[in-house]
Amino acid sequence: MMRPPGFAGAAFGTNLTGDLRIDAANRDLVSRGLGIAADWAFVRQVHGCRVVEARLPGDLGEADAIYVQRSGLPIAVATADCVPVIVEAHRAAAVVHAGWRGAAAGVVPAALDALRAAGHQPLRAAIGPAIGPCCYEVGAEVTDRFPGFAAETTWGSPSVDIPGFVADQLVGLEVWRSDECTYTSPGLHSWRENQTEQRQVAVAWLPGD
Ligand SMILES: [Zn+2]
């Protein structure tokens, strides 16, 4: 697991740790290593902008962001090219799954708003590995949604910088970026690379008192 420096409870998995939402044995192992509970809360991701609060572990239904206000309850999203974001406040944390559709729908500001509405000021955010503008070839129907974030792949075709767009939405927060490209990194799942069903996780938690 990759631990963004300076974060209280944040980790990003790789293709070795796999999809820990469904792989209970590996989740146990990883949880022990991180010193957190093995029962996590997750959502069925639908590329929208709904945010849910985790009060219990398990499947919280269809949503693309989760926040938590209690310690001992890890929350997770899983991705393979989409942008995983972890947000920390003093006594709350959030995880966000932002593909281009969710990003365009405003899932990142929706998660920040949910934290603020619950009385928590977002302090810092970690943007995990995602497909970069180097490789995210898209058509005009996508680039048109992200003015200012049009880019070019390393092979010269139109692309869009979704991690950059997400970073730009984290106004006033301290932002850490992995900047690792899922498409070119052999250690990370990429749907664009091989249409894999596998996902790597982003998990957040509030450290115990
Ligand atoms: Zn790339």
Cα 181 to ligand 1 centre (Å): 5
| Domains of the chain: total | 1
Cα 168 to ligand 1 centre (Å): 19
Domain span at 174 = 10-204
Among all chains, which residue has been given the structure tokens 């090219």?
A: 81
Cα 81 to ligand 1 centre (Å): 10
Q: Is there a domain that residue 179 lies in? A: yes
Q: How many CB atoms lie within 10 A of CB 69?
A: 17
Cα 99 to ligand 1 centre (Å): 15
pLDDT at 135 over 70: yes
pLDDT digits (tens, 9 = 90+) for 69-88: 999 999 999 999 999 999 99
Cα 11 to ligand 1 centre (Å): 21
What pLDDT sits at residue 59? 97
Mean of pLDDT over the chain: 96
pLDDT at 149 over 90: yes
Question: Where does the chain have alpha helices with state H?
Answer: 24-34, 100-105, 107-117, 140-143, 162-169, 191-194
Question: Sorting pLDDT into bands at 50, 70 and 90, what band is 209?
Answer: low
Q: Is there a domain that residue 3 lies in? A: no
- Backbone dihedral angles phi then psi of residue 192, each to the nearest 5 degrees: -65, -30
pLDDT digits (tens, 9 = 90+) for 179-193: 999 999 999 999 999
Cα 28 to ligand 1 centre (Å): 31
Q: Give me the percent of the chain exceeding a pLDDT of 90.
A: 94
| 99 burial level (CB within 10 Å; 0-12, 13-18, 19+) | buried
Cα 85 to ligand 1 centre (Å): 18
Residue type, 119: G
pLDDT digits (tens, 9 = 90+) for 13-66: 999 987 898 889 999 999 999 999 999 999 999 999 999 999 999 999 999 999
Q: Is there a domain that residue 2 lies in? A: no
Q: Domain with 165 in it: what CATH number?
A: 3.60.140.10
What average pLDDT does the segment 126-139 reach?
A: 98
Residue type, 94: A
For the whole model, what pTM was predicted? 0.97
Q: Is there a domain that residue 24 lies in? A: yes
Cα 19 to ligand 1 centre (Å): 22
pLDDT at 206 over 70: yes
pLDDT digits (tens, 9 = 90+) for 98-111: 999 999 999 999 99
What pLDDT sits at residue 29? 95
Among all chains, which residue has been given the structure tokens 């690379």?
A: 193
What pLDDT sits at residue 208? 82
Question: Sorting pLDDT into bands at 50, 70 and 90, what band is 176?
Answer: very high
What pLDDT sits at residue 19? 82
Cα 180 to ligand 1 centre (Å): 8
Q: Is there a domain that residue 126 lies in? A: yes
